[in-house]
Chain A
């Protein structure tokens, strides 16, 4: 007279438990597949939620506190005063300086990267293609700091570039450029021009690779058809090639723009000592102990990049990644 023998036909098919903890667990997972999914997703979700988003929100929270003017202690009360401080002339200068630098670095990277990517995508074959990839990636393997220090020596007043230009009797050209306001300075290595050159050098690979990927997807017969229909090379470029490569350029610009926006090492070693956003964050949280202002400063690139990515998505940049 066992239980299974008298189960009516309409009863649910409940199998007897297999016993043991492992068996019970296995049964639970089989009956409720969502529990298994939940358990498997829990660790990465915790990581994303606590470590990643948590720290971001902690940062955001800090930026709504303020520093007490007299004691220098953090006043943990909600206020927008710290964001108001961002609009002081000196701080606004820092933000504008950084954004202008990031924009010009991005523009220059695109101009330099396009022909290189075009050659790599259209003409390089076999061994040359491998060599090309190596050439692009090799600088990324060596230490970032070593490269910057090397550039400092190249751009120095008594460095190789000045020497070379003097040999070509072009020293006057360099001097004329350096005597310009704002971009000039005492030597390339202590001017914004120097900072700009090194930024372009360091971030260039991040621009070349997405453009190349985009160009490789442009069918060759489109370009041929365009010239068959009587378009000049310039017209073909403007009306066919460029619009099709644009998502790649925008994708590359996300890298160059955001990386320049956040970097604080290059402007510290090469440049005029005028601060960029990254350095301002470092100075405010380190030496000044003004963590709210540092946090408010870090929110600036987050907001700028938010708008930038929104615009880039509309231009189809994410299809080219």
Chain B
């Protein structure tokens, strides 16, 4: 009897362990829905028609699959990582700075793309993107992406500016007045990457290969450039709506920005346009990733499939000012319009250096300046140091 009990214990243990090992493996086939799915998302990413009736891509999913969608919004990438570490969620819409951290921390599981029929419709440029593909294993499904464009006032710039130098170097604008006090820059340490992207084109002797991988000298050069920019910037922008207001009331005529603000200002008939200058631009790309211990894997897979639907992708792109991960979404979407994808920068994919967290162990050189130093030094630069 005793030995029988021992065998039972051993078997339970073995089963338990193999069960844990299984979760690291990808799902082989889909079962029935579990009745709900919990998603961590950026605000505005998962709309159920509560903000605006026309923008609803949850209700139909819930009706079809019987999976109730619970959304927890997070304001920063750090918050997303923290929520995923806590657990209790199935999916997360992670940006490029969070996605690899989640993979490295083993918080997300590989995705079996065979279980997602729409996978083949995903933009080929995104299918194997390095911010969610590690050793050819996919740790998520692309959701949306967008560039950080150069927004400008068309009354001042009759032609689109060709270079980012209008927001980095002191100069006179085409209307004859200096740019001092009439430009803005993003109030986040990641703006250092915009500066190094500019230096990459204009100071090749620094040898910057990647704006997110800087050694001490390159980093110092980028900070020096930003110190010059500080003397030109009245206020840095932090909140999209405040930037919109500054372009209307504060006499700001040029700034790095998101298509969201550009679209908003255009819809208010302001003389605003945007461009991606010759140096290229930084940008963001988000991926829906699945928690390693997701309690509702079947519903999660159903959502991943649903998230690639052209209608959803197009509606979301129109709502957020982003680009769909599925090219088919660009055509025939009522909310996005025929030109919507072009406006949001869909054709400029190759010019964009997608956002990543700078780490000390980088690929292009022996050692790089890590992110936490970007934070303290950018605070110092804004403070006038």
Query: Is A94 an interface residue when CB atoms closer than 8 A count as contact?
Result: yes
**Cα–Cα distance between A289 and B383 once the two chains are bound (Å):** 20
Task: Select one of B76, B239, B250, B382 contacting A275, CB under 8 A.
Answer: B382
Return chain A residues, CB-CB under 8 Å to B188: 287
Q: Cβ of A189 and Cβ of B370 under 8 Å apart? A: no
Within 8 A of A (CB), among B167-183: 180-182
B interface majority secondary structure? loop
What is the distance, in angstroms, from B252's C-beta to the closest C-beta of chain A? 9
Query: Is A244 an interface residue when CB atoms closer than 8 A count as contact?
Result: no
Return chain B residues, CB-CB under 8 Å to A67: 372
Q: Cβ of B375 and Cβ of A284 under 8 Å apart? A: yes
Q: Cβ of A288 and Cβ of B376 under 8 Å apart? A: yes
Which partner residue on chain A sits nearest B233 by CB separation? A273
Q: Cβ of B78 and Cβ of A190 under 8 Å apart? A: no
Within 8 A of B (CB), among A234-281: 268-269, 271-275, 280
Within 8 A of A (CB), among B208-252: 233-236, 238-239, 242, 245, 248-251
Q: Cβ of B235 and Cβ of A272 under 8 Å apart? A: yes
Task: Select one of B234, B242, B376 contacting A186, CB under 8 A.
Answer: B234
**Cα–Cα distance between A72 and B374 once the two chains are bound (Å):** 12
Q: Cβ of A70 and Cβ of B360 under 8 Å apart? A: yes
**Cα–Cα distance between A273 and B182 once the two chains are bound (Å):** 15
Whether A187 touches B383, Cβ cut-off 8 Å, given contacts A72-B371, A287-B76, is no
Task: Select one of A71, A190, A283, A287 contacting B235, CB under 8 A.
Answer: A190
What is the distance, in angstroms, from A310's C-beta to the closest C-beta of chain B? 30
**Cα–Cα distance between A290 and B189 once the two chains are bound (Å):** 14
Whether A158 touches B249, Cβ cut-off 8 Å, given contacts A190-B235, A269-B242, A287-B189, is yes
**Cα–Cα distance between A308 and B235 once the two chains are bound (Å):** 32
**Cα–Cα distance between A152 and B189 once the two chains are bound (Å):** 25
Q: Cβ of B250 and Cβ of A283 under 8 Å apart? A: no
Q: Cβ of B238 and Cβ of A268 under 8 Å apart? A: yes
Query: Is B334 an interface residue when CB atoms closer than 8 A count as contact?
Result: no
Q: Cβ of A93 and Cβ of B235 under 8 Å apart? A: no
Task: Select one of B234, B242, B249 contacting A272, CB under 8 A.
Answer: B234
Return chain B residues, CB-CB under 8 Å to A272: 234-235
Return chain B residues, CB-CB under 8 Å to A70: 360, 370
Whether A157 touches B189, Cβ cut-off 8 Å, given contacts A70-B360, A90-B376, A93-B385, is no
Return chain B residues, CB-CB under 8 Å to A157: 249-251
Q: Cβ of A273 and Cβ of B187 under 8 Å apart? A: yes
Query: Is B380 an interface residue when CB atoms closer than 8 A count as contact?
Result: yes
Query: Is A140 an interface residue when CB atoms closer than 8 A count as contact?
Result: no
Query: Is A286 an interface residue when CB atoms closer than 8 A count as contact?
Result: yes
Q: Cβ of B375 and Cβ of A283 under 8 Å apart? A: yes
Whether A273 touches B382, Cβ cut-off 8 Å, given contacts A287-B375, A289-B372, is yes
Q: Cβ of B234 and Cβ of A190 under 8 Å apart? A: yes
**Cα–Cα distance between A190 and B383 once the two chains are bound (Å):** 14
Q: Cβ of B370 and Cβ of A72 under 8 Å apart? A: yes
What is the distance, in angstroms, from B227's C-beta to the closest C-beta of chain A? 12
Q: Cβ of B251 and Cβ of A187 under 8 Å apart? A: yes
Query: Is A301 an interface residue when CB atoms closer than 8 A count as contact?
Result: no
What is the distance, in angstroms, from A294's C-beta to the closest C-beta of chain B? 11
Q: Cβ of A290 and Cβ of B375 under 8 Å apart? A: yes
Task: Select one of A93, A152, A287 contacting B78, CB under 8 A.
Answer: A287
Return chain B residues, CB-CB under 8 Å to A288: 189, 371-372, 375-376
Given A189-B235, A269-B239, 8 more A-B residue pairs with CB atoms under 8 Å apart are A70-B360, A71-B360, A97-B383, A186-B180, A190-B250, A272-B235, A288-B189, A290-B376
Chosen A-B contacts, 28 in total, with CB atoms closer than 8 Å, are A67-B372, A89-B385, A93-B384, A94-B379, A97-B383, A152-B242, A152-B245, A153-B249, A157-B250, A158-B249, A159-B249, A186-B180, A186-B181, A186-B250, A187-B234, A190-B234, A272-B234, A273-B233, A273-B236, A275-B382, A275-B383, A284-B375, A286-B78, A287-B189, A287-B375, A288-B372, A289-B372, A290-B375
Interface residues, chain B, with chain A CB atoms under 8 Å away: 76, 78-79, 180-182, 187-189, 233-236, 238-239, 242, 245, 248-251, 360, 370-372, 375-376, 379-380, 382-385
